[in-house]
Structure 1
Amino acid sequence: MRRRIAIPVILLVVLGLGAIAALSLRLAVGVSRADSPYASPSAATARGPTAPPSPDDAPPLDEVADGDDDMSQLVTSADPVVYATALTEVLLTWNTTSQPSPRTVAETIMRHADPDSPDGDELSTDLANYLPSDAAWQDLRRHATRQTVTVHTATVPDAWAAIQASAPASDLPPGTTAVTLQATRHRTGVWEDDEVHTSHPITFTVFLECPPPDAPCRPVRLSRPDAAL
Protein backbone atom coordinates (compact mmCIF):
# COMPACT_ATOMS: atom_id res chain seq x y z
CA MET A 1 0.00 0.00 0.00
CA ARG A 2 1.32 3.41 -0.92
CA ARG A 3 1.91 5.88 1.85
CA ARG A 4 0.28 9.27 1.80
CA ILE A 5 2.28 12.12 0.29
CA ALA A 6 3.44 14.38 3.10
CA ILE A 7 2.06 17.86 2.39
CA PRO A 8 4.39 20.71 3.39
CA VAL A 9 2.83 23.08 5.90
CA ILE A 10 2.71 25.94 3.38
CA LEU A 11 0.31 23.91 1.23
CA LEU A 12 -2.22 23.31 4.01
CA VAL A 13 -3.55 26.85 3.61
CA VAL A 14 -3.84 26.41 -0.15
CA LEU A 15 -5.61 23.07 0.13
CA GLY A 16 -7.84 24.26 2.96
CA LEU A 17 -8.05 20.89 4.64
CA GLY A 18 -11.21 20.51 6.69
CA ALA A 19 -12.31 24.12 6.27
CA ILE A 20 -14.53 24.64 3.22
CA ALA A 21 -16.86 27.51 4.03
CA ALA A 22 -20.43 27.38 2.71
CA LEU A 23 -20.09 30.82 1.17
CA SER A 24 -16.96 29.83 -0.73
CA LEU A 25 -18.74 26.78 -2.04
CA ARG A 26 -21.66 28.85 -3.29
CA LEU A 27 -19.30 31.20 -5.07
CA ALA A 28 -17.45 28.28 -6.61
CA VAL A 29 -20.72 26.78 -7.82
CA GLY A 30 -21.77 30.20 -9.10
CA VAL A 31 -25.32 30.12 -7.72
CA SER A 32 -26.10 33.52 -6.25
CA ARG A 33 -29.63 32.60 -5.11
CA ALA A 34 -31.50 29.35 -4.68
CA ASP A 35 -34.27 30.52 -7.06
CA SER A 36 -31.91 31.52 -9.89
CA PRO A 37 -28.50 30.33 -11.02
CA TYR A 38 -27.85 33.64 -12.77
CA ALA A 39 -29.45 36.64 -11.10
CA SER A 40 -27.51 38.74 -8.64
CA PRO A 41 -29.03 38.97 -5.14
CA SER A 42 -30.26 42.51 -5.80
CA ALA A 43 -31.80 41.59 -9.15
CA ALA A 44 -33.50 38.50 -7.76
CA THR A 45 -34.89 40.48 -4.83
CA ALA A 46 -36.26 43.16 -7.13
CA ARG A 47 -37.93 40.48 -9.25
CA GLY A 48 -39.76 39.17 -6.21
CA PRO A 49 -40.32 35.61 -5.05
CA THR A 50 -40.46 32.87 -7.66
CA ALA A 51 -42.28 29.59 -7.26
CA PRO A 52 -39.86 26.66 -7.27
CA PRO A 53 -39.99 24.70 -10.53
CA SER A 54 -41.49 21.23 -10.52
CA PRO A 55 -39.17 18.26 -11.12
CA ASP A 56 -41.33 17.58 -14.19
CA ASP A 57 -40.00 20.83 -15.67
CA ALA A 58 -36.52 19.32 -16.08
CA PRO A 59 -35.87 18.25 -19.68
CA PRO A 60 -35.05 14.62 -20.49
CA LEU A 61 -31.34 13.89 -20.61
CA ASP A 62 -31.51 12.92 -24.26
CA GLU A 63 -32.61 16.42 -25.22
CA VAL A 64 -29.05 17.69 -25.61
CA ALA A 65 -28.71 21.33 -26.54
CA ASP A 66 -27.04 22.28 -29.79
CA GLY A 67 -23.33 22.89 -29.42
CA ASP A 68 -22.96 20.47 -26.53
CA ASP A 69 -19.51 20.92 -25.02
CA ASP A 70 -19.52 17.82 -22.82
CA MET A 71 -16.00 16.43 -22.44
CA SER A 72 -16.16 12.83 -21.26
CA GLN A 73 -12.51 11.95 -21.84
CA LEU A 74 -9.32 13.23 -20.22
CA VAL A 75 -6.23 12.95 -22.38
CA THR A 76 -3.02 11.57 -20.92
CA SER A 77 0.26 13.43 -21.02
CA ALA A 78 3.63 13.37 -19.30
CA ASP A 79 3.79 17.16 -19.58
CA PRO A 80 2.32 18.63 -16.37
CA VAL A 81 1.19 21.88 -18.00
CA VAL A 82 -0.53 20.05 -20.86
CA TYR A 83 -2.17 17.59 -18.48
CA ALA A 84 -3.31 20.22 -15.97
CA THR A 85 -4.84 22.23 -18.80
CA ALA A 86 -6.72 19.18 -20.08
CA LEU A 87 -7.90 18.34 -16.55
CA THR A 88 -9.21 21.89 -16.13
CA GLU A 89 -11.13 21.70 -19.39
CA VAL A 90 -12.78 18.44 -18.32
CA LEU A 91 -13.53 19.60 -14.77
CA LEU A 92 -15.04 22.95 -15.74
CA THR A 93 -16.84 21.92 -18.93
CA TRP A 94 -20.21 20.31 -18.32
CA ASN A 95 -23.77 20.18 -19.58
CA THR A 96 -26.64 19.49 -17.19
CA THR A 97 -28.90 18.44 -20.08
CA SER A 98 -26.66 15.54 -21.14
CA GLN A 99 -24.89 14.49 -17.93
CA PRO A 100 -27.04 13.02 -15.15
CA SER A 101 -25.05 14.42 -12.23
CA PRO A 102 -21.79 16.21 -11.34
CA ARG A 103 -20.37 12.84 -10.34
CA THR A 104 -19.99 11.94 -14.01
CA VAL A 105 -17.54 14.85 -14.34
CA ALA A 106 -15.58 13.93 -11.23
CA GLU A 107 -15.43 10.25 -12.15
CA THR A 108 -13.73 11.08 -15.45
CA ILE A 109 -10.85 12.62 -13.50
CA MET A 110 -10.84 10.06 -10.68
CA ARG A 111 -10.22 7.31 -13.25
CA HIS A 112 -6.80 8.90 -13.81
CA ALA A 113 -5.90 8.96 -10.12
CA ASP A 114 -3.68 6.28 -8.63
CA PRO A 115 -6.14 3.71 -7.22
CA ASP A 116 -3.62 2.80 -4.50
CA SER A 117 -3.10 6.38 -3.37
CA PRO A 118 -4.34 7.20 0.16
CA ASP A 119 -5.05 10.71 -1.14
CA GLY A 120 -8.00 9.49 -3.25
CA ASP A 121 -10.72 10.58 -0.81
CA GLU A 122 -9.18 14.04 -0.49
CA LEU A 123 -8.98 14.39 -4.29
CA SER A 124 -12.64 13.46 -4.59
CA THR A 125 -13.50 16.17 -2.05
CA ASP A 126 -11.32 18.68 -3.90
CA LEU A 127 -13.15 18.02 -7.18
CA ALA A 128 -16.54 18.45 -5.49
CA ASN A 129 -15.53 21.99 -4.52
CA TYR A 130 -15.54 22.92 -8.22
CA LEU A 131 -18.87 21.34 -9.13
CA PRO A 132 -22.50 22.03 -8.25
CA SER A 133 -24.10 19.81 -5.63
CA ASP A 134 -26.53 17.13 -6.80
CA ALA A 135 -29.47 19.34 -5.82
CA ALA A 136 -28.03 22.41 -7.54
CA TRP A 137 -27.32 20.32 -10.65
CA GLN A 138 -30.99 19.35 -10.94
CA ASP A 139 -32.03 22.97 -10.50
CA LEU A 140 -29.52 24.06 -13.14
CA ARG A 141 -30.83 21.38 -15.50
CA ARG A 142 -34.28 22.99 -15.36
CA HIS A 143 -32.57 26.02 -16.85
CA ALA A 144 -30.65 23.93 -19.45
CA THR A 145 -27.41 25.22 -17.96
CA ARG A 146 -24.12 24.47 -19.69
CA GLN A 147 -20.61 25.55 -18.77
CA THR A 148 -17.44 25.87 -20.80
CA VAL A 149 -14.04 27.20 -19.82
CA THR A 150 -11.29 29.29 -21.36
CA VAL A 151 -7.84 28.60 -19.87
CA HIS A 152 -5.73 31.75 -20.04
CA THR A 153 -2.50 30.61 -18.37
CA ALA A 154 -1.08 27.39 -16.96
CA THR A 155 2.33 27.59 -15.30
CA VAL A 156 4.41 25.95 -12.61
CA PRO A 157 4.33 28.61 -9.86
CA ASP A 158 7.58 30.15 -8.71
CA ALA A 159 6.76 29.12 -5.13
CA TRP A 160 6.92 25.44 -6.09
CA ALA A 161 10.70 25.47 -6.42
CA ALA A 162 11.02 26.83 -2.87
CA ILE A 163 8.60 24.20 -1.57
CA GLN A 164 10.59 21.41 -3.22
CA ALA A 165 13.84 22.78 -1.83
CA SER A 166 12.50 22.99 1.73
CA ALA A 167 10.62 19.69 1.82
CA PRO A 168 12.46 16.47 2.77
CA ALA A 169 13.09 14.30 -0.26
CA SER A 170 10.93 11.55 1.25
CA ASP A 171 7.89 13.86 1.43
CA LEU A 172 7.51 14.47 -2.31
CA PRO A 173 7.91 11.51 -4.69
CA PRO A 174 9.93 12.14 -7.87
CA GLY A 175 7.86 13.93 -10.46
CA THR A 176 5.50 15.62 -7.99
CA THR A 177 4.72 19.09 -9.28
CA ALA A 178 2.16 21.88 -9.20
CA VAL A 179 0.52 23.87 -11.99
CA THR A 180 -1.42 27.07 -11.33
CA LEU A 181 -4.17 27.95 -13.80
CA GLN A 182 -6.06 31.13 -14.53
CA ALA A 183 -9.30 30.60 -16.40
CA THR A 184 -12.79 31.92 -17.04
CA ARG A 185 -15.93 29.81 -16.71
CA HIS A 186 -18.70 30.64 -19.19
CA ARG A 187 -22.27 29.64 -18.37
CA THR A 188 -25.26 29.60 -20.69
CA GLY A 189 -28.82 28.78 -19.71
CA VAL A 190 -32.43 29.84 -19.90
CA TRP A 191 -33.99 32.10 -17.27
CA GLU A 192 -37.59 33.29 -17.67
CA ASP A 193 -37.57 32.28 -21.36
CA ASP A 194 -34.43 34.30 -22.08
CA GLU A 195 -31.02 32.85 -22.83
CA VAL A 196 -28.56 34.13 -20.27
CA HIS A 197 -24.76 34.16 -20.37
CA THR A 198 -22.46 34.73 -17.42
CA SER A 199 -18.68 34.59 -16.93
CA HIS A 200 -16.80 33.76 -13.74
CA PRO A 201 -12.99 34.05 -13.42
CA ILE A 202 -11.21 31.40 -11.39
CA THR A 203 -7.66 30.55 -10.39
CA PHE A 204 -6.40 27.41 -8.66
CA THR A 205 -3.50 24.98 -8.43
CA VAL A 206 -3.43 21.35 -9.52
CA PHE A 207 -0.94 19.04 -7.79
CA LEU A 208 0.27 16.17 -9.95
CA GLU A 209 2.54 13.17 -10.00
CA CYS A 210 4.40 12.92 -13.31
CA PRO A 211 6.96 10.17 -12.64
CA PRO A 212 10.18 10.47 -14.65
CA PRO A 213 11.22 9.95 -17.28
CA ASP A 214 7.93 10.09 -19.20
CA ALA A 215 5.14 8.33 -17.31
CA PRO A 216 1.68 9.93 -17.70
CA CYS A 217 0.73 12.47 -15.06
CA ARG A 218 -1.83 11.60 -12.39
CA PRO A 219 -3.92 14.05 -10.34
CA VAL A 220 -3.11 14.15 -6.62
CA ARG A 221 -4.89 17.19 -5.10
CA LEU A 222 -6.44 20.52 -6.07
CA SER A 223 -6.23 23.77 -4.14
CA ARG A 224 -9.41 25.48 -3.03
CA PRO A 225 -11.02 27.63 -5.74
CA ASP A 226 -9.32 31.03 -5.94
CA ALA A 227 -6.65 29.96 -3.42
CA ALA A 228 -3.87 29.20 -5.87
CA LEU A 229 -0.23 28.65 -5.02
Structure 2
Amino acid sequence: MLVRSPTARLWHRVRLALGIVLGCLLVGFTAYGVVSTVTRNPRAADPVITSSGPRAVAPQAPPDLAADGERAPIDATPDPAAFATDVSRAIFDWDTTGPVDLAEIKGRLLAVADPTGHEAPGLVADLAGYVPSAPTWDFLTQYSTRQWIEIRDVAEPAQWARALAAAGEDAPAPGVTALTVTGVRHRAGVWQGEPVRQQFDVAFTVFVVCEPSYPTCYLLRLSQLDNPLR
Protein backbone atom coordinates (compact mmCIF):
# COMPACT_ATOMS: atom_id res chain seq x y z
CA MET A 1 0.00 0.00 0.00
CA LEU A 2 1.29 3.41 -0.97
CA VAL A 3 1.69 5.70 2.04
CA ARG A 4 1.81 9.42 1.34
CA SER A 5 4.17 11.67 3.26
CA PRO A 6 2.56 14.48 5.31
CA THR A 7 3.52 17.16 2.82
CA ALA A 8 2.43 15.02 -0.13
CA ARG A 9 -1.04 14.84 1.46
CA LEU A 10 -1.22 18.62 1.96
CA TRP A 11 -2.96 19.60 -1.25
CA HIS A 12 -5.33 16.65 -1.25
CA ARG A 13 -6.48 17.60 2.24
CA VAL A 14 -6.70 21.32 1.55
CA ARG A 15 -8.78 20.70 -1.57
CA LEU A 16 -11.21 18.60 0.46
CA ALA A 17 -11.47 21.29 3.10
CA LEU A 18 -11.81 24.25 0.78
CA GLY A 19 -13.86 22.51 -1.87
CA ILE A 20 -11.60 23.76 -4.67
CA VAL A 21 -9.21 22.17 -7.12
CA LEU A 22 -5.49 22.77 -7.14
CA GLY A 23 -5.73 24.47 -10.50
CA CYS A 24 -7.45 27.42 -8.86
CA LEU A 25 -4.25 28.12 -6.93
CA LEU A 26 -1.87 27.79 -9.87
CA VAL A 27 -0.45 30.99 -11.27
CA GLY A 28 -1.07 31.96 -14.87
CA PHE A 29 1.49 34.08 -16.68
CA THR A 30 -1.07 36.16 -18.58
CA ALA A 31 -1.84 38.54 -15.72
CA TYR A 32 1.82 39.20 -15.13
CA GLY A 33 2.38 40.20 -18.75
CA VAL A 34 0.10 43.20 -18.28
CA VAL A 35 2.66 44.80 -15.99
CA SER A 36 5.81 43.69 -17.79
CA THR A 37 7.04 47.20 -18.49
CA VAL A 38 8.26 49.86 -16.06
CA THR A 39 5.26 52.15 -16.33
CA ARG A 40 4.50 52.30 -20.04
CA ASN A 41 4.23 49.99 -22.99
CA PRO A 42 6.66 51.23 -25.68
CA ARG A 43 4.09 50.35 -28.33
CA ALA A 44 1.39 52.48 -26.74
CA ALA A 45 1.14 55.86 -25.06
CA ASP A 46 -1.11 54.79 -22.18
CA PRO A 47 0.31 53.82 -18.78
CA VAL A 48 0.22 50.15 -17.94
CA ILE A 49 -2.59 49.35 -15.52
CA THR A 50 -3.05 46.30 -13.30
CA SER A 51 -6.32 45.10 -11.86
CA SER A 52 -5.58 46.91 -8.60
CA GLY A 53 -4.51 50.06 -10.44
CA PRO A 54 -1.50 52.30 -9.95
CA ARG A 55 -1.23 54.38 -6.81
CA ALA A 56 0.54 57.63 -6.11
CA VAL A 57 4.24 56.98 -5.58
CA ALA A 58 5.37 57.43 -2.00
CA PRO A 59 8.95 58.55 -1.40
CA GLN A 60 10.82 55.32 -0.80
CA ALA A 61 14.28 54.35 -2.01
CA PRO A 62 14.66 50.92 -3.62
CA PRO A 63 16.91 48.43 -1.84
CA ASP A 64 20.47 48.21 -3.10
CA LEU A 65 20.25 44.87 -4.84
CA ALA A 66 23.37 44.99 -6.97
CA ALA A 67 26.11 46.38 -4.73
CA ASP A 68 27.10 43.10 -3.06
CA GLY A 69 27.00 40.90 -6.16
CA GLU A 70 25.29 37.57 -5.55
CA ARG A 71 22.48 37.73 -3.02
CA ALA A 72 22.60 35.63 0.13
CA PRO A 73 20.38 32.55 0.39
CA ILE A 74 17.09 32.78 2.24
CA ASP A 75 17.76 32.50 5.97
CA ALA A 76 16.82 29.29 7.75
CA THR A 77 14.19 30.08 10.37
CA PRO A 78 11.44 28.25 12.28
CA ASP A 79 9.28 31.40 12.21
CA PRO A 80 6.62 31.12 9.44
CA ALA A 81 5.98 34.88 9.21
CA ALA A 82 9.68 35.73 9.01
CA PHE A 83 10.16 33.02 6.39
CA ALA A 84 7.20 34.23 4.31
CA THR A 85 8.63 37.75 4.47
CA ASP A 86 12.03 36.59 3.22
CA VAL A 87 10.41 34.54 0.46
CA SER A 88 8.36 37.55 -0.63
CA ARG A 89 11.44 39.72 -0.91
CA ALA A 90 13.31 36.99 -2.78
CA ILE A 91 10.47 36.91 -5.32
CA PHE A 92 9.86 40.62 -5.78
CA ASP A 93 13.21 42.32 -5.19
CA TRP A 94 15.28 42.31 -8.38
CA ASP A 95 17.30 44.62 -10.57
CA THR A 96 17.81 44.03 -14.29
CA THR A 97 20.98 46.16 -14.23
CA GLY A 98 22.68 44.08 -11.51
CA PRO A 99 24.60 40.80 -11.51
CA VAL A 100 21.67 38.67 -10.32
CA ASP A 101 19.95 36.81 -13.16
CA LEU A 102 16.68 34.91 -13.42
CA ALA A 103 18.27 31.56 -12.69
CA GLU A 104 19.63 32.86 -9.38
CA ILE A 105 16.29 34.39 -8.40
CA LYS A 106 14.50 31.08 -8.95
CA GLY A 107 17.37 29.08 -7.49
CA ARG A 108 17.20 30.91 -4.15
CA LEU A 109 13.52 29.97 -3.87
CA LEU A 110 13.86 26.38 -5.01
CA ALA A 111 16.67 25.92 -2.48
CA VAL A 112 14.03 26.23 0.28
CA ALA A 113 11.32 24.24 -1.53
CA ASP A 114 9.54 21.17 -0.13
CA PRO A 115 12.40 18.85 0.92
CA THR A 116 10.41 15.80 -0.18
CA GLY A 117 10.29 17.17 -3.72
CA HIS A 118 6.55 16.52 -4.08
CA GLU A 119 5.56 20.17 -4.36
CA ALA A 120 8.65 21.41 -6.24
CA PRO A 121 7.19 21.03 -9.77
CA GLY A 122 4.08 22.94 -8.72
CA LEU A 123 6.19 25.65 -7.15
CA VAL A 124 8.11 26.07 -10.40
CA ALA A 125 4.78 26.60 -12.19
CA ASP A 126 3.67 29.06 -9.49
CA LEU A 127 6.83 31.15 -9.88
CA ALA A 128 6.10 31.67 -13.58
CA GLY A 129 3.40 34.12 -12.54
CA TYR A 130 5.71 36.12 -10.28
CA VAL A 131 9.12 36.15 -11.97
CA PRO A 132 9.58 37.58 -15.50
CA SER A 133 10.31 35.23 -18.36
CA ALA A 134 13.69 35.48 -20.07
CA PRO A 135 12.33 37.59 -23.00
CA THR A 136 10.51 39.89 -20.57
CA TRP A 137 13.65 40.26 -18.46
CA ASP A 138 15.64 41.24 -21.57
CA PHE A 139 12.94 43.76 -22.46
CA LEU A 140 12.92 45.26 -18.97
CA THR A 141 16.70 45.52 -19.05
CA GLN A 142 16.38 48.08 -21.84
CA TYR A 143 14.65 50.38 -19.33
CA SER A 144 17.02 49.66 -16.39
CA THR A 145 14.04 48.29 -14.47
CA ARG A 146 14.20 47.60 -10.75
CA GLN A 147 11.46 46.09 -8.63
CA TRP A 148 10.98 45.66 -4.89
CA ILE A 149 8.19 44.98 -2.44
CA GLU A 150 7.09 47.03 0.54
CA ILE A 151 5.41 44.52 2.84
CA ARG A 152 2.49 45.86 4.84
CA ASP A 153 1.15 42.71 6.52
CA VAL A 154 1.79 38.97 6.89
CA ALA A 155 -1.03 37.03 8.53
CA GLU A 156 -2.79 33.68 8.51
CA PRO A 157 -6.00 34.11 6.46
CA ALA A 158 -9.38 33.28 7.93
CA GLN A 159 -10.06 30.92 5.00
CA TRP A 160 -7.13 28.78 6.10
CA ALA A 161 -8.39 28.53 9.65
CA ARG A 162 -11.84 27.54 8.36
CA ALA A 163 -10.26 24.97 6.06
CA LEU A 164 -8.37 23.38 8.94
CA ALA A 165 -11.53 23.29 11.06
CA ALA A 166 -13.44 21.61 8.24
CA ALA A 167 -10.66 19.14 7.45
CA GLY A 168 -10.93 17.26 10.73
CA GLU A 169 -8.85 14.07 10.51
CA ASP A 170 -7.70 15.12 7.03
CA ALA A 171 -5.91 18.19 8.39
CA PRO A 172 -2.46 18.91 6.92
CA ALA A 173 0.72 17.78 8.63
CA PRO A 174 1.77 19.68 11.77
CA GLY A 175 3.57 22.87 10.91
CA VAL A 176 1.85 23.38 7.55
CA THR A 177 0.30 26.82 7.34
CA ALA A 178 -0.76 29.54 4.93
CA LEU A 179 0.24 33.17 5.26
CA THR A 180 -1.25 35.94 3.16
CA VAL A 181 1.15 38.75 2.34
CA THR A 182 -0.15 42.20 1.42
CA GLY A 183 1.99 45.09 0.34
CA VAL A 184 3.05 47.40 -2.45
CA ARG A 185 5.09 46.42 -5.48
CA HIS A 186 7.38 49.23 -6.59
CA ARG A 187 8.98 49.59 -10.00
CA ALA A 188 11.54 52.13 -11.12
CA GLY A 189 13.41 52.60 -14.36
CA VAL A 190 14.22 54.93 -17.21
CA TRP A 191 11.72 55.91 -19.92
CA GLN A 192 12.88 58.08 -22.79
CA GLY A 193 15.86 59.24 -20.76
CA GLU A 194 13.80 60.22 -17.71
CA PRO A 195 13.51 58.32 -14.41
CA VAL A 196 10.04 56.88 -13.84
CA ARG A 197 8.42 55.08 -10.91
CA GLN A 198 5.11 53.43 -10.24
CA GLN A 199 3.60 51.19 -7.59
CA PHE A 200 0.75 48.70 -7.29
CA ASP A 201 -1.00 46.95 -4.42
CA VAL A 202 -0.23 43.22 -4.32
CA ALA A 203 -1.53 40.29 -2.29
CA PHE A 204 -0.73 36.59 -2.38
CA THR A 205 -0.61 33.55 -0.11
CA VAL A 206 2.53 31.61 0.79
CA PHE A 207 2.06 27.97 1.85
CA VAL A 208 4.86 26.74 4.11
CA VAL A 209 5.76 23.84 6.37
CA CYS A 210 7.73 24.52 9.57
CA GLU A 211 8.03 23.05 13.07
CA PRO A 212 7.29 20.44 14.27
CA SER A 213 7.49 18.66 10.90
CA TYR A 214 10.86 20.29 10.18
CA PRO A 215 13.22 22.35 12.36
CA THR A 216 13.14 25.22 9.83
CA CYS A 217 10.55 26.40 7.32
CA TYR A 218 10.24 25.29 3.71
CA LEU A 219 8.23 26.75 0.85
CA LEU A 220 5.48 24.52 -0.52
CA ARG A 221 3.41 26.58 -2.95
CA LEU A 222 2.21 30.09 -3.85
CA SER A 223 -1.32 31.23 -4.58
CA GLN A 224 -2.21 33.07 -7.74
CA LEU A 225 -0.86 36.60 -7.56
CA ASP A 226 -3.57 39.03 -6.37
CA ASN A 227 -5.90 36.11 -5.69
CA PRO A 228 -4.90 35.14 -2.14
CA LEU A 229 -6.75 33.34 0.60
CA ARG A 230 -8.50 35.92 2.76
TM-score (norm 2): 0.77
Give the equivalent residue in structure 2 for 1:20: 28
SS at match of 1:227: coil
Q: Match of 1:8, as an amino acid?
A: V
Give the equivalent residue in structure 2 for 1:209: 209
Give the equivalent residue in structure 1 for 2:54: none
Cα-to-partner distance string for 1:55-109 (whole Å, 9 max, x where unaligned): xxxxxxxxxxx96325442112111111101111111100111245323211101
Deviating 4+ runs (over 3 angstroms) = 1-4, 11-15, 168-171
- Return the alpha-carbon distance in structure 2 between the equivalents of residues 202 and 155 of structure 1: 14
Gap runs ≥5 in structure 1: 48-65
Give the equivalent residue in structure 2 for 1:69: 65
- Aligned residues of 1:207 and 1:221 also touching (Cα < 8 A): yes
- Return the alpha-carbon distance in structure 2 between the equivalents of residues 7 and 140 of structure 1: 40
Q: Match of 1:150, as an amino acid?
A: E
- Return the alpha-carbon distance in structure 1 between the equivalents of residues 179 and 146 of structure 2: 26
Identity %: 28
1:45 aligns with 2:45: yes
Q: C-alpha displacement at 1:128, in angstroms?
A: 1.8
* Relative contact order, higher structure (CA 8 A, sep 6+): 2
**Would the alpha carbon gap of residues 13 and 19 (structure 1) be closer, same or farther in structure 2, given more than 3 Å must change?**
farther
- Return the alpha-carbon distance in structure 2 between the equivalents of residues 97 and 205 of structure 1: 29
- Return the alpha-carbon distance in structure 1 between the equivalents of residues 196 and 102 of structure 2: 21
**Would the alpha carbon gap of residues 108 and 17 (structure 1) be closer, same or farther in structure 2, given more than 3 Å must change?**
same
Give the equivalent residue in structure 1 for 2:14: 8
- Aligned residues of 1:4 and 1:118 also touching (Cα < 8 A): no
Q: C-alpha displacement at 1:159, in angstroms?
A: 1.8
Gap runs ≥5 in structure 2: 48-61
Q: Match of 2:28, as an amino acid?
A: I
- Return the alpha-carbon distance in structure 2 between the equivalents of residues 97 and 25 of structure 1: 20
- Aligned residues of 2:203 and 2:225 also touching (Cα < 8 A): yes
- Aligned residues of 1:175 and 1:209 also touching (Cα < 8 A): yes
TM-score (norm 1): 0.77
Cα-to-partner distance string for 1:101-147 (whole Å, 9 max, x where unaligned): 32321110110113422111001111121111110001111111111
Give the equivalent residue in structure 2 for 1:181: 181
- Aligned residues of 1:72 and 1:105 also touching (Cα < 8 A): no
Number of equivalences: 203
